[in-house]
Amino acid sequence: MITTKQRAILRGMATSIQPIIQVGKGGLNENLIKTVSDALEARELIKLTVLENSEETPASAAHALAEATGADVVAVIGKKVVLYRESSTKKTIEI
């Protein structure tokens, strides 16, 4: 679990990164969860977009993905979601 101060630092870092994953009408399936987990392992901090045609709201998608991947929700801003999980092999972010 990350603290409020750590969350603020991560939110600031996330402003410069582009969304790398989109949650669409397929919703949160096993394939998407694996992709998010792999991206978190490689990058630690990722941003994704919840598309208009998704049955998930950005907040529900964020919490479901965080629970499924063991990540922390850093921010949900509009249709964008920022997730953080410390990498077990390539730790690059110090907070």
HEC string of 42-88? Answer: HHCEEEEEECCCCCCCHHHHHHHHHHHHCCEEEEEECCEEEEECCCC
Q: pLDDT exceeding 70 applies to what percent of the chain?
A: 97
Average pLDDT, rounded, for the chain: 91
Topology (CATH) of 4-84: Translation Initiation Factor IF3 (3.30.110)
Domain regions of the chain by residue span: 4-84
Q: What is the pTM of this model?
A: 0.91
Q: Give the model confidence (pLDDT) of 13-49 as tens digits.
A: 999 999 999 999 888 899 999 999 999 999 999 999 9
Q: What is the pLDDT of residue 94?
A: 66
Element (H, E) at 36: helix 30-43
- Angle, helices 30-43/58-69, rounded to nearest 10 degrees: 70
Residues forming a β-bridge with 46: 83
